[in-house]
């Protein structure tokens, strides 16, 4: 049996916990080392997970010659510098979403990947859910025809992630726009077949988050000096004539407990609602409308774990990665343009 690829995880405090089962269950990889800037978290998680090789310095895990794969689970602003350093040190890299806060950062990461000949993948776990894979396969079979409009949202009611990682721009690059907008937008562009965005008209709002007593149902105080938005919306035009309406929020007087994450896709042969898997078609000849449920493909397990297993499989067997960084350029390009449009108070064009 081939030697297993050795994985080092950087930033083990939060989302990394959803990656651990993936590395443990991968036939191709094993987790061997952790790094974190917080020594308490590093030692606690190391002990819990039975990992003895622990690094306080990112340089040391990246330069460990035994390690083949670096898994980046740090706040967003560290993604680009760590990924570039790891790639140039000869490691394959899987990196949490958003791959980086600007398209320029992502281009630098792609340049490092190409220079090193190693693999780089964005961890967009929603793509690995059975309901997403089934919808994508149906669209690729032509079920909806040409998709000419989409409406996508990810809306929460008083559910801001009140951690330094998310609420300060110096760590995150932005609020819900970049935090959760990246999830629903990545899925939407993937379903639409990655049309080229050409313009964005966007707004951001902070009407609720600074009100006295504003809270998050996830606990913790909302810091007074928080400097990111709570709501963002955009209208996007694509080169092929298609359009998209996007809405994201951490706090909104919206009828949801937890999260309302949905995507409507409208094509010239049919419409679809994700994640409900509703398919809507019309037969003009018999003047009949049809509402059906999409048959789901079998699940490949919990999505965060599945993305790690898939990445290790691609590295071990030299296959293309399922979420290449090139897919993240238009996603982050639109979100970056949303912020620029909101600041300018007018539509901005993308090149
Ligand atoms: N895919 C998802 O569903 C999902 C969910 C939550 C978070 N995320 C992403 O994961 C990343 C981390 O979010 P989180 O919720 O785990 O945050 P977190 O604050 O819970 O954990 C981040 C960890 O990284 C450590 N860290 C910070 N800077 C570091 C550095 N330079 N080097 C090493 N360690 C460092 C912190 O000490 C902490 O332990 C973010 O990019 C976020 O967008 C993804």
pLDDT in tens, 155-188: 999 999 999 999 999 999 999 999 999 999 999 9
pLDDT of residue 19: 98
pLDDT of residue 1: 63
Mean pLDDT of 315-333: 98
pLDDT digit string, tens, across residues 103-119:
999 999 999 999 999 99
pLDDT of residue 22: 98
pLDDT of residue 257: 80
Domain enclosing residue 77, as ranges: 5-126+302-322
Residues 166 and 289 in one domain: yes
Least confident of 64-68, 200-204, 210-214, 241-245: 210-214
Going from the Cα of 97 to the center of ligand 1, the distance in angstroms, rounded, reads 10
Residues 211 and 309 in one domain: no
pLDDT band at residue 299 using 50, 70 and 90 as cut-offs: confident
Three-state SS for 139-161 is: HHCCCCCCEEEEEEEEEECCCCC
Residues 76 and 167 in one domain: no
Average of per-residue pLDDT values in the chain: 97
For the Cβ of 41 lying below 6 angstroms from any atom of ligand 1, the answer is yes
Residues 286 and 156 in one domain: yes
Tokens of 77: 């602003």
pLDDT digit string, tens, across residues 233-288:
999 999 999 999 999 999 999 988 889 999 999 999 999 999 999 999 999 999 99
Mean pLDDT of 14-25: 98
Q: For residue 147, what is the domain's CATH number?
A: 3.30.360.10
Least confident of 1-10, 235-244, 306-315, 318-327: 1-10
Query: Is the pLDDT confidence value at 351 over 90?
Result: no
Query: Is the pLDDT confidence value at 2 over 90?
Result: no
Residues 176 and 266 in one domain: yes
pLDDT band at residue 221 using 50, 70 and 90 as cut-offs: confident
Residues 170 and 92 in one domain: no
Mean pLDDT of 281-304: 94
Whether 200 maps to a domain, the answer reads yes
Cα–Cα distance measured from residue 233 to residue 223, given in angstroms and rounded to the nearest whole number = 23
Residues 161 and 56 in one domain: no
| C-alpha distances out from residue 66 to 31, 92, 114, Å | 11, 12, 22
Residues 121 and 165 in one domain: no
% the chain with pLDDT above 90: 95
Closest approach atom of ligand 1 to CA 124: 1
Cα–Cα distance measured from residue 223 to residue 226, given in angstroms and rounded to the nearest whole number = 5
Whether 235 maps to a domain, the answer reads yes
- Other CB atoms within 10 A of residue 227 CB: 13
Whether 327 maps to a domain, the answer reads no
Angle CA(321)–CA(325)–CA(331) in degrees, nearest 5? 125
Going from the Cα of 48 to the center of ligand 1, the distance in angstroms, rounded, reads 18
Residues 313 and 274 in one domain: no
Going from the Cα of 35 to the center of ligand 1, the distance in angstroms, rounded, reads 12
For the Cβ of 327 lying below 6 angstroms from any atom of ligand 1, the answer is no
Residues 153 and 224 in one domain: yes
Cα–Cα distance measured from residue 298 to residue 58, given in angstroms and rounded to the nearest whole number = 38
Going by alpha carbons, the residue nearest to atom 43 of ligand 1 is 97
pLDDT of residue 172: 97
Q: For residue 116, what is the domain's CATH number?
A: 3.40.50.720
Residues 57 and 155 in one domain: no
Question: How many domains does the chain fold into?
Answer: 2
Residues 43 and 102 in one domain: yes
Mean pLDDT of 141-161: 97
| 35 Cα distance to chain centroid | 22
More confident residue, 218 or 316: 316
% the chain with pLDDT above 70: 100
pLDDT band at residue 350 using 50, 70 and 90 as cut-offs: very high
Q: Which residue from 11, 62, 78, 79 has its CB within 8 A of the most atoms of ligand 1, so it is best to mutate?
A: 11
pLDDT band at residue 78 using 50, 70 and 90 as cut-offs: very high
Cα–Cα distance measured from residue 178 to residue 150, given in angstroms and rounded to the nearest whole number = 19
Q: Kindly report whether the global pTM for this prediction surpasses the value 0.95.
A: yes
């Amino acid at each position: 049996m081939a030697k297993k690829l050795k994985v080092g995880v950087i930033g083990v405090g939060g989302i990394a916990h959803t990656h651990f089962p993936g590395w443990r269950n991968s036939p191709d990889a094993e987790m061997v080392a952790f790094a974190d800037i917080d020594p308490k978290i590093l030692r606690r998680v190391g002990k819990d997970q039975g990992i003895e090789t622990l690094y306080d310095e990112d340089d040391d895990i990246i330069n460990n010659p035994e390690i083949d794969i670096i898994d980046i689970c740090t706040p967003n602003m560290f993604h680009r510098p760590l990924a570039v350093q790891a790639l140039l040190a000869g490691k394959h890299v899987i990196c949490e979403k958003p791959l980086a806060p600007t398209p320029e950062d992502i281009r630098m990461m792609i340049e490092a990947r190409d220079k090193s000949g190693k693999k780089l993948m964005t961890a967009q776990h929603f793509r690995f859910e059975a309901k997403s894979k089934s919808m994508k396969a149906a669209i690729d079979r032509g079920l909806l025809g040409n998709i000419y409009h989409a409406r996508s949202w990810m809306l929460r009611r008083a559910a801001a992630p009140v951690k330094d990682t998310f609420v300060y721009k110096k760590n995150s690059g932005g609020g819900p726009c970049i935090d959760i907008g990246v999830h629903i937008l990545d899925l939407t562009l993937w379903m639409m077949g990655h049309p080229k965005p050409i313009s964005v008209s966007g707004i951001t709002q902070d009407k609720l988050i600074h009100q006295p007593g504003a809270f998050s149902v996830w606990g913790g105080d909302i810091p007074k000096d928080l400097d990111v938005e709570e709501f963002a919306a955009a209208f996007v035009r694509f080169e092929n004539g298609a359009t998209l309406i996007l809405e994201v929020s951490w706090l909104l007087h919206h009828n949801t407990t937890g999260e309302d994450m949905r995507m409507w896709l409208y094509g010239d042969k049919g419409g679809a609602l994700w994640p409900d898997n509703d398919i809507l078609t019309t037969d003009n000849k018999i003047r009949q409308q049809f509402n059906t449920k999409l048959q789901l493909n079998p699940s490949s397990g919990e999505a965060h774990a599945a993305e790690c297993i898939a990445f290790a499989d691609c590295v071990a067997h030299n296959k293309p990665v399922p979420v290449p960084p090139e897919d993240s350029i238009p996603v982050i390009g639109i979100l970056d343009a949303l912020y620029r449009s909101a600041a300018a108070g007018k539509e901005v064009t993308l090149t």
